[in-house]
Chain A
Amino acid sequence: MSERPRTLYEKIWDAHVVERRDDGTCLIYIDRHLVHEVTSPQAFEGLRLAGRKVRRPDLTLAVADHNLPTTPRIRGNGGPLLIEDPASAEQLAALQENVAEFGVPYIDAIAAEQGIVHVVGPEQGFTLPSTTVVCGDSHTAAHGALGALAFGIGTSEVEHVLATQTLMMKPSKTLEIRVDGELGFGVTPKDLILAIIGQIGTAGGTGHVIEYRGSTFEAMSIEGRLTVANMSIEAGARSGLFAPDEKTFAYLEGRQMAPKGESWQRAVAGWRQLVTDPGATFDRSVHIDAASVAPTVTWGTSPEDVATITGFVPSPDSFTDAGKRDAAMRSLEYMGLEAGQRLQDIAIEHVFIGSCTNSRIEDLRAAASVLKSRKCSDRIKQALVVPGSGLVKRLAEAEGLDRIFIEAGFEWREPGCSMCLAMNPDKVPPRERCASTSNRNFVGRQGPGARTHLMSPVMAAAAAVNGRLTDVREMMGDIGELAA
C-alpha cells in the first residue's frame, strides 16, 4: 500500500474504483442514486428499448420535486389532487410507472417524506459519508456537506448508473477553499458561498472537486454546509466536500435509512478516518477571511455577479476583460438596472424563500426571526415560502413558523423546487423582480424575462419587509437577534 498522503477526495475516489483503464479512465462504483421526474424518463425508456433492468434498485431512491405544484395536494377525501398542467402530469405519471416497472423505491408525491431530492437524501439518511452519490441534477453537489462524493449527471449517465451501478470517469483535480474566522452578524453560509463564487468565478472550479476547509466551515451547521456544498456547481465544480465530523454523525444518527446499532458504530469509526491527510496537496488553494464577508446579493445574470449589500450596481466599464464588459452590459439591460445605482434602492415585487439551497429548517427559522412582528411591504405582489420537504414543513409548523410567515403576508406552500426554476406554476412575471434564496439568476430562470437577485433567507425576509433590497444588519441592529 502506498503511504502517500491523500486528500479526502482521493480517499473516496480510490475506494470506489472498480477498474482502471490504461488511459486513466476509471469505472467508479455508485453507492446511492437519487432519481426525479425530469431527468429520468428518457433513461428508463433507454433501458426498456435495450431490454435492460435496474441493477441495484435497493441503492436507488426516487422522488418527484421539479414539476409538482406547491398548492395543496390532497383532496378533502384524502385522495391526490390532479396536476393541471398535462405535460407535468405526464412526467409525474411516467415516473410512477417507471419505478413500478423497474422496482425502484419511491416516495409518493403526497407522502410526508416527499421533498426536494437534495433535502430528502440527507434527511432520510440515504446520503452517508464516504459514499458516492449521483442524481440527474447539478445541485447533487449539496450532499458533499455530509462527506459524500456527490455530483450531478446527465440522463445518459442516469441510464448508465441504473443499468450498471457505475460510471466511466476520470479523476478530477482538487481545489481547497479555506475559510477561517467567524462570520459577522447577519452574514450566513449563503453570503459566504456567493462571495466565494464572486471571487473564483462560475468557471473557477471547472474540472475540480472542492474541499471546504478551515475553522469557519468546522463551526458551520450541517444545514449551512448543505447550502455551501449545494452551490459548488455555481463555481463550476461538480462536487464540493466537507470532512465528516461529530456534527455530521449527530445529524445522521437515527435517520430512517442510516445504519443502526452496531453497524452505526462501525460506520462512524470508519468515517472518522475520512479526512485529508497532513501533507496531502491540492492542485489549487484559495484562502478567504470570514470577517471580510458581508451580506451579499447578485446584481446580474450569473451567480458570479455579486456585490455586498452596501455597494452599488457596477459599471460595465469597470471590467477590464472585453467579454465581461459585454456580459455586464447585457445583464444590466436584462435586469433593468443602471450602473452606479445603490443596491439598497432596488425595489422588488416578489420574494421566494425555498430551493435545495435554502429550504431547510434552519433557513426557515432564520427568515422567520426577521419576519416576526413585521409585515411584507405593500409593494410585494407575491411572497412564497416553500419548505424543502414535508418533514421540514411539519417541523416548522410545530414551531409555529408557518404562522409568522402567514401573518407577515407570505404564502405557506407544499414542498418542491417551485420558483427556483419555474417548471411548475410558481413563476416571476416578465420584467418583475424577485429576492430569491435559490441558486441561479440566469436569464429566464424564474420565468421568461424574470429578474432574480440571489441572497440569504434573512436578506430575502428583510427585502420583503422593505419592498427593496435591504441590509438585514440595519433592520435587525436594534434587536441584534437573528436565528442561527
Chain B
Amino acid sequence: MIPFTRVEGRAYPLPFSNIDTDLIIPAVHLKTIRRSGLGQHAFEALRSTDDSVFADPAFRGAPIIVALDNFGCGSSREHAAWALVDLGVRAVVAPSFSDIFASNAFKNGIATVELDHAAVESLLESAKTDSIVVDLESMTVTVGERDHFTFTMDPFRRDCLLAGLDEIALTLSHDDAITAYEQRMGI
C-alpha cells in the first residue's frame, strides 16, 4: 500500500449528505474480478449532469473529495474505495462516514478525514477555486493562508496509513495467539 503522508491538490466539492456506495459505483460495475479500472464509472449518475464537477477539466485528477454527512453509506462494496483510488482520490473530508466505507477506504490507503460542519462548509466553498492540503503527519487540512483545520484519527489507522502497512502480514505475525485461541475454544 502507498504510504499516506501529505496530499495536495484540487478537491471535488460534493455538497450532499448520504452519498451512498451505489452512487459512488453502481452495482452494474461490480462484475469485475479486478481492483483497477473502476474510476471511469465513479459517480456515474452525477457525471451525466451538465454542471458536474466531474466534467470540469479543472478538477480532473483531483486527489480529494469534500462532502457532507454519512459519506459512503449503504453497501459494503470495496469497489467504492477502488473506484475512488482509480479516480486518483487519496482523501475524503466530511463531517461523518459510514463505518464500512471508512474501513474499506483505510485499507486502500484513502484517508477519511472528519471535520465539523462549519469547517466542511468552508472547504466546500474553497474547493471551487483553490487547492487543499491534507497532511496526516500534522493532522491538518489547510487552504493557503485562509483555512487551517486540525483533525483527529484513530491512532492505529493513522499509523497504518503513514506506514502503508500490509495488515494481513501484521496479523499473521500473531499466528501463535490465533492458534492458541482456537485450541482454547476447541474450534
A interface vs B, CB < 8 Å? 18-19, 21, 23, 25, 27, 29, 31, 38-39, 41-42, 45-46, 50, 52, 55, 59, 66-67, 85, 87-88, 90-91, 94, 136-138, 140, 152-157, 159-160, 163-166, 168, 170, 202-203, 206-207, 233, 236, 238, 302, 323-324, 326-327, 330, 421-423, 440, 442-445, 448
Once bound together, how far apart are the Cα atoms of A50 and B18, in whole Å?
36
B22 touching A442, Cβ below 8 Å: yes
What are 27 A-B contacts defined by CB distance under 8 Å?
Answer: A19-B174, A27-B174, A27-B178, A39-B76, A42-B35, A90-B31, A91-B33, A152-B76, A154-B78, A154-B104, A155-B104, A156-B108, A156-B167, A159-B168, A165-B182, A166-B178, A168-B167, A168-B170, A202-B73, A206-B98, A207-B99, A236-B73, A238-B99, A238-B100, A423-B27, A442-B23, A443-B23
Determine the chain A residues whose CB is within 8 A of the CB of B182 once the complex forms. 29, 165
0 or 1 for each of B87-121: is its CB under 8 Å from A? (1 = yes): 00000000010111001100110000000000000
Residue in B23, B98, B171, B175 whose CB lies within 8 Å of A444: B23
Query: Are A164 and B172 interface neighbours, CB within 8 A?
Result: yes
In this assembly, does B26 line the interface, its C-beta being within 8 Å of a C-beta of chain A? Answer: yes
A440 touches B22 (CB 8 A): yes
Say yes or no: A422-B18 contact (C-beta < 8 A), given A203-B96, A236-B98. no
Are B99's CB and A206's CB within 8 A?
yes
Expressed in whole angstroms, the Cα–Cα distance for A46 and B108 within the complex equals 13
A451 to chain B minimum Cβ distance, whole angstroms, is: 13
Complex contacts, A155 vs chain B, CB 8 Å: 78, 104
User: Which residues on the A side are within 8 Å of B16 (C-beta)?
Assistant: 323, 326-327, 330
Docked-complex contact A327 and B17, CB < 8 angstroms: yes
Chain A nearest CB, measured from B114 CB (Å): 11
Interface centre among B44, B81, B98, by most A CB within 10 Å? B98
Closest-CB distance, B122 to chain A (whole angstroms) = 15
* Contact residues in A for B28 (Cβ distance below 8 Å): 422-423, 448
In the complex, which residue of chain A has the Cβ closest to the Cβ of B171? A164
> Cβ of A55: which chain B residues have Cβ within 8 Å of it?
178
Question: Are the C-beta atoms of B181 and A18 separated by less than 8 Å?
Answer: yes
CB-defined contacts of A448 to chain B, threshold 8 Å: 26, 28, 45
Is A31 touching B187 in the complex (CB atoms < 8 A)?
A: yes
Q: Which of A87, A330, A421 contacts B32 (CB 8 A)?
A: A87
A464–B107 CA distance with the chains assembled, in angstroms: 44
State which of B69, B108, B156, B187 has its C-beta within 8 Å of the C-beta of A23. B156
From known contacts A18-B177, A27-B171, A160-B167, infer whether A39 and B77 are also in contact, taking CB-CB under 8 Å: yes
Which B residues, 136 to 175, have Cβ-Cβ distances below 8 Å to chain A? 154-156, 167-168, 170-172, 174-175
Which residue of chain B has the shortest Cβ distance to A446 in the bound complex? B27
Q: Residues of A contacting B26 with CB < 8 Å? A: 444, 448
Q: Which A residues are in CB contact (< 8 Å) with B30?
A: 38, 66, 423
Whether B181 pairs with A29 at a CB distance below 8 angstroms is yes
- Docked Cα-Cα span, A87 to B33, in Å, equals 9
> By the criterion CB–CB under 8 Å, are B168 and A52 in contact?
yes
Which residue of chain A is the closest to B106 with respect to CB atoms? A156
